[in-house]
Structure 1
Amino acid sequence: MGVIRVSDTNLGARSGRGSEYADLSRLVRGAGLLHRRPGHYALRMGLVLGCLGVAGVVLVRLGQSWWQTVVAAFLAVIFAQAGFIGHDAGHRQIFRSRTANDVVGLLFGNLLIGLSYGWWVDKHNRHHAHPNTEGHDPDIVVAPLSFTPGQAEARRGLGAVFVRHQATLFFPLLLLEGPHLHAASVKAVLGRGRLKHRPIEASLLALHIVGYLTAVFLLLNRPQAIVFILVNQGLFGLYLGCSFAPNHKGMPILSEAGALDYLRRQVLTSRNVRGGWLIDVLLGGLNYQIEHHLFPSMPRPNLRRAQPLIRQFCIAHGVPYHETTLTRSWAQALQHLRTVGKRPTQPGTDRH
């Protein structure tokens, strides 16, 4: 799809239609789609904790065996599923109480998978406020990748070489996303930035790191332990990256957030992924990205029910509603990276 800039000159004339979102919101609330689903989340959290318990038992029983790499891969999937629960807690989808959601987020984020819940919520809220908006969305400022021609043209040396091949290197790069998230979390809890529960976050994060490393190096010999960590963290990052990449990558990039009303800003920059219950589980509900961005506090199990209503509303009001298959969404994201990577090398070359 390439880089598409949405500005006052093309869609800005629609920016005064804020009442449309109010109409949609009334429809959604009237259908009961914002009602919390604590029973659903209790079952989901129980399944994740149960799978972690099973993995722990197998880890102990197998002992020093190279079959532990299978356990490492299984744990990567469970860690990602725990991350999805932390995501929902951060959006207050589970409980109405902020405190109750924070407790779940801290336990499933900091303690279970070693990611700072507070740091992630702050970053993710900025993304939701200005999705795919230059200068505002932290998710399109991810070195060494370039998501706009301006970012690509600013790269020098090895950075410029990387950008030219970033589409090819994108999925291999995701293998490093796990360590990157852990490092960012440690930096956040040790830094001076805003972090509401810093002592608690630091303590839970330390418990995770110490417990994880102790268990792995106590039960396995050193080569097996190192391979276990590499497989586990590599697949964890790859899984998360493959789940988040379809959401916005390759969708329009906004040069001015004020050019569009809330409804269009959220819908035009988001992409849904078609599929059945398996896709819902694998992507943690993020496959309903349009519905999620329009109503971030909507519980995950309600997103599927909301989709027909919201899609019909968008079509009726002339708002492009984009959905595709999982593989096609990845292809569109890679095509975007490929297009941006082909930055001009000679004066006078056309810039898009």
Structure 2
Amino acid sequence: MASTEAYVYTRQEFAVLTQDAKDGKPDARQYIIIDNKVYDVTEFVEDHPGGADVLLTHVGKDASDVFHAMHPESAYETLANCYAGDIEPAPSQLQNSEFATEMRELRDKLEGEGYFNSSHLFYLYKVVSTLGLCATAFVMLYLWGKTSTLAVLGAGFLVGLFWQQCGWLAHDFGHHQCFKDRTLNDIVVVFLGDFCQGFSLSWWKNKHNTHHASTNVSGHDPDIDTAPVLLWDEIASANYYGSLQDDAFSRFMAESVLPYQTRYFFFVLAFARFSWAIQSVLYMLNEGALNKSKKLCFFERACLFAHWALFTGAAVLWIGTIRNMLLFFFVSQTATGYLLAIVFALNHNGMPVISQEKAETMEFYEIQVVTGRDVILGALGDWFMGGLNYQIEHHVFPSMPRHNLAKVRPMVRSICKKYGVNYHETSFLQGTVEVLNALDIVQKLSLRLSKKSF
């Protein structure tokens, strides 16, 4: 029989093979390394169930850790179709490789001890109690919506809190923390995310998966790409001002808005929920389902339509005046904006932002730790933040159920201390001050850059 022995690439060959892709040449082949095997993902990029962007951030790199963190065992079957050969084993040239090795060992240990298995009773309680917030708000509108402005305001706030808590639950199911069957998780996300919250599963996964794969990496992480509304770091500021066009809008934003971003930061948060909801609708209308499924596309669009029909219908049917209808809409939208965005800001904003060049010298686990912020809270704070106050643990183990994150926190912190990797934890108030300080540093830089740009 003919030999079927795989071709073994040298590290130098792989570097040459992938240089065109790194340089952004349009016809370049796209290769990645996973577990010392080379995969040609050129034809697979657009069909990647987690979105094309997340895969493209790791072209030409060893993507083993991020692959293991975000994929089930069944993904190996799909990956096998892209197999191109092996690559010579070599010691890691990345900094803190021993730290990464111990984090991998911890992950394997925790998997064996059941830390990645969810409590279905916990998630049943979370879903039922969260839906109870919406039911309470609707009862208030039904009983007193035509007679009491106070009841309308209270119901609006409860709906806002309901949408926030739906967001945390949809996040958990979106990371496949509850069920081993990923389809079941996605069904729950379409219900909690698209229908209840008005946020598209496909829109969220396309954005959030990339965030996890390249956390706080400038030019890759969409969560810090908020120009021209907010700038979070010196890299983004320099890139933004360096690419400005001399037109009225650019001049206005550069000279009169961004240099004062700490003054309007909390004002902007009020519009976060509405902005994300509109982005979800536009994404589904223009892009469709992330996995190209016509069935998923239909259900997502139907659920988004039903979401707006339900909450608009409740306002029209059960609220007595136009003024109170507008109050309900304003309070529910802005309450959710604040309740979501103040938590999101604490997760990574104000933490180190890494250039793409620097990221290539760092292990995946180190990037996840040094760019995250844990917030020390009690049981009520854990509920309010949906477990995202354990942001470091969530990022190193994204598929771990939130109810186990506090248990593994001392283990992760201990390994970080052993290898001198910065593990940052703070209070809610101090974390917020850190976010504002980061904005202040960049706004001062923006003021100087705006004077040079025009």
Same-fold status (TM-score > 0.5): yes
Partner Cα distance (1:231, 1:178) in 2? 11
Percent identity between the aligned chains?
34
The answer as to 2:120 corresponding to 1:25 is no
Contact residue 34 and residue 299 of structure 1 kept, 8 A: yes
User: How far has the Cα of 1:13 moved from its partner?
Assistant: 5.3
Counterpart of 2:253, as a letter, is: G
Counterpart of 1:183, as a letter, is: I
User: How far has the Cα of 1:114 moved from its partner?
Assistant: 0.9
* Partner residue in 2 for 1:336: 438
User: How far has the Cα of 1:319 moved from its partner?
Assistant: 1.3
- Once the two structures are overlaid, the 10-residue window that deviates more, 120-129 or 312-321, is 312-321
- Once the two structures are overlaid, the 10-residue window that deviates more, 102-111 or 252-261, is 252-261
User: How far has the Cα of 1:194 moved from its partner?
Assistant: 5.0
* Partner residue in 2 for 1:5: none
Counterpart of 1:277, as a letter, is: A
Which aligned pairs between 1:21-60 and structure 2 lie closer than 5 A? 21-60=103-142
Change (3 A) 1:84 1:344: closer
Aligned with 2:305 (options 178, 187, 206): 206
Counterpart of 1:236, as a letter, is: T
Which aligned pairs between 1:87-102 and structure 2 lie closer than 5 A? 87-102=171-186
Counterpart of 1:151, as a letter, is: A
Partner Cα distance (2:208, 2:130) in 1? 23
The answer as to 2:181 corresponding to 1:81 is no
Counterpart of 2:330, as a letter, is: L
Partner Cα distance (1:296, 1:152) in 2? 30
* Partner residue in 1 for 2:388: 286
Which aligned pairs between 1:165-204 and structure 2 lie closer than 5 A? 165-192=260-287, 195-196=290-291, 197-204=296-303
User: How far has the Cα of 1:15 moved from its partner?
Assistant: 5.0
Partner Cα distance (1:98, 1:158) in 2? 47
Counterpart of 2:419, as a letter, is: H
Partner Cα distance (2:412, 2:114) in 1? 14
User: How far has the Cα of 1:78 moved from its partner?
Assistant: 1.3
Contact residue 246 and residue 330 of structure 1 kept, 8 A: yes
Counterpart of 2:121, as a letter, is: G
Aligned with 1:146 (options 228, 231, 236): 231
The answer as to 2:425 corresponding to 1:323 is yes
Partner Cα distance (1:128, 1:331) in 2? 24
- Helix, strand or coil for the counterpart of 1:275? coil
Contact residue 195 and residue 307 of structure 2 kept, 8 A: yes
* Partner residue in 1 for 2:12: none
User: How far has the Cα of 1:54 moved from its partner?
Assistant: 1.8
Gaps of at least 5 residues in structure 2 are 1-92, 242-249
* Partner residue in 1 for 2:348: 248
Partner Cα distance (1:305, 1:340) in 2? 36
Provide runs of 4+ in structure 1 moved above 4 Å: 344-347
Contact residue 94 and residue 363 of structure 2 kept, 8 A: no
* Partner residue in 1 for 2:335: 235
After superposition, the C-alpha distances for 1:154-184 in whole angstroms (9 at most, x for unaligned) are: 3532212221111221111000011101110
User: How far has the Cα of 1:344 moved from its partner?
Assistant: 6.1
Partner Cα distance (1:346, 1:227) in 2? 41
User: How far has the Cα of 1:259 moved from its partner?
Assistant: 1.7
Aligned with 2:252 (options 145, 151, 158): 158
After superposition, the C-alpha distances for 1:51-88 in whole angstroms (9 at most, x for unaligned) are: 22122111100122211111101111111001110000
Contact residue 247 and residue 289 of structure 1 kept, 8 A: yes
* Partner residue in 2 for 1:14: 95
Contact residue 258 and residue 446 of structure 2 kept, 8 A: no
Contact residue 14 and residue 260 of structure 1 kept, 8 A: yes
Partner Cα distance (2:411, 2:378) in 1? 18
Contact residue 36 and residue 96 of structure 1 kept, 8 A: no
User: How far has the Cα of 1:317 moved from its partner?
Assistant: 2.1
Which aligned pairs between 1:55-74 and structure 2 lie closer than 5 A? 55-64=137-146, 65-67=148-150, 68-74=152-158
- Once the two structures are overlaid, the 10-residue window that deviates more, 84-93 or 251-260, is 251-260
Aligned with 1:224 (options 324, 327, 351): 324
- Helix, strand or coil for the counterpart of 1:253? coil
User: How far has the Cα of 1:26 moved from its partner?
Assistant: 2.6
After superposition, the C-alpha distances for 1:311-344 in whole angstroms (9 at most, x for unaligned) are: 1121122211100000111110110011011116
- Helix, strand or coil for the counterpart of 1:259? coil
Contact residue 288 and residue 297 of structure 2 kept, 8 A: no
Partner Cα distance (1:226, 1:217) in 2? 10
Change (3 A) 1:346 1:314: closer
Contact residue 24 and residue 313 of structure 1 kept, 8 A: no
The answer as to 2:124 corresponding to 1:124 is no
Counterpart of 1:29, as a letter, is: E
User: How far has the Cα of 1:302 moved from its partner?
Assistant: 0.4
- Once the two structures are overlaid, the 10-residue window that deviates more, 226-235 or 46-55, is 46-55
Counterpart of 2:237, as a letter, is: A
What RMSD over aligned residues (CA atoms) do the two structures have, in Å? 1.7
User: How far has the Cα of 1:22 moved from its partner?
Assistant: 1.4
User: How far has the Cα of 1:193 moved from its partner?
Assistant: 5.5
How does the TM-score come out when normalised to structure 1? 0.92
Gaps of at least 5 residues in structure 1 are 1-11
Partner Cα distance (2:253, 2:96) in 1? 37
Partner Cα distance (2:94, 2:186) in 1? 40
Partner Cα distance (1:218, 1:48) in 2? 23
The answer as to 2:352 corresponding to 1:268 is no
- Helix, strand or coil for the counterpart of 2:97? coil
Aligned with 2:219 (options 135, 138, 141): 135
Partner Cα distance (2:351, 2:361) in 1? 16
